[in-house]
Amino acid sequence: MSDTPSGGPFSAWSSRDRGRLLLALTPLVPFLVILPGGRWLLPFVAPLTFYVWFSRRVRLGDYLGAWKLGMLWAGLFSLGVILLLYLLPEAAAAGILHGEPYRQEMFGWIETGIGKENTPSQFIPEHMLHLGAFVLLTVLSGGYLGLVLGALLVAYMSYFVGSYALASDQLLLGPLVAWVPWSVLRVSAFVLLGVLLSRPVLLRRWWPFERRDWVLLALAASGILGDVVLKTLTAPTYGLFLRNLAGW
């Protein structure tokens, strides 16, 4: 995005202003599912609201700025999925890939205290599969395909979050508490990992990493490990908290 005026209606806007406007449209992206084929388009279109701005910050070495931008995008995208569910529940159920199976899995865990969330031998392999796919896609595509996978994961997790809020009649508090702490930690770590591992393609250097990059990679790794530890230690208690809050 260039700062040079082009004569269009937004010609007086800076590239940052245009980036902010595009990012602000993120909550509307999940409504693509009402279009034919929208459920398949959604993960691929979602990163487009911020990828140019994100990639520019990565190229400049503004890791913190790129991470903040990624987290803001994830939050806005999650908000959009939740709003879609509130306003058009049938469209959300049909349009969010893996949304309904994940909701059923999570509701079963909350209602009974039994499920994958409480079983490290089940959830750790799944987490490692997601991590491996994310790393590979990020490295190969300069971050874009990693964000596509991230959009898919955030979408179905947000579908559960919105479903919990509706089922518990906690439309405001529900989304805050149903985004379980270990999932927030995992998203944060994945975004930081995406910032770092997108650099080889974006900088066109096969090894652009410096000493500070290794510190940040260690921080991302600690977040991924912290996700597993926090989930292992607190999932049973947190599931009970969600059950009591919903009155189930």
Structure tokens at 48: 């487009």
Q: Does any domain span residue 2?
A: no
- For residues 7 and 10, what is the distance between their CA atoms, to the nearest angstrom? 8
Q: Does any domain span residue 10?
A: no
Q: Does any domain span residue 3?
A: no
Which CA distances in Å does 101 have to 46, 105, 239?
Answer: 22, 6, 18
Q: Does any domain span residue 190?
A: yes
Mean of the per-residue pLDDT values of the chain: 93
Cβ atoms of 243 and 110 within 8 Å: the answer is yes
- For residues 110 and 160, what is the distance between their CA atoms, to the nearest angstrom? 12
Q: What is the pLDDT of residue 12?
A: 54
* pLDDT tens for each residue of 57-76: 999 999 999 999 999 999 99
Report if pTM > 0.85. yes
- Domain that residue 27 falls in: 15-246
- State how many domains the chain has: 1
Mean pLDDT, rounded, for 123-139: 97
pLDDT more than 90, % of the chain: 88
- The position carrying tokens 């900088």 is 203
Q: Does any domain span residue 6?
A: no
Q: Does any domain span residue 230?
A: yes
**Position 212 pLDDT exceeds 50:** yes
**Position 190 pLDDT exceeds 50:** yes
Question: Worst-scoring range by mean pLDDT, 15-19, 65-69, 203-207?
Answer: 15-19
Q: Does any domain span residue 118?
A: yes
Mean pLDDT, rounded, for 35-60: 96
Q: Does any domain span residue 1?
A: no
Q: What is the pLDDT of residue 5?
A: 46
**Position 148 pLDDT exceeds 60:** yes
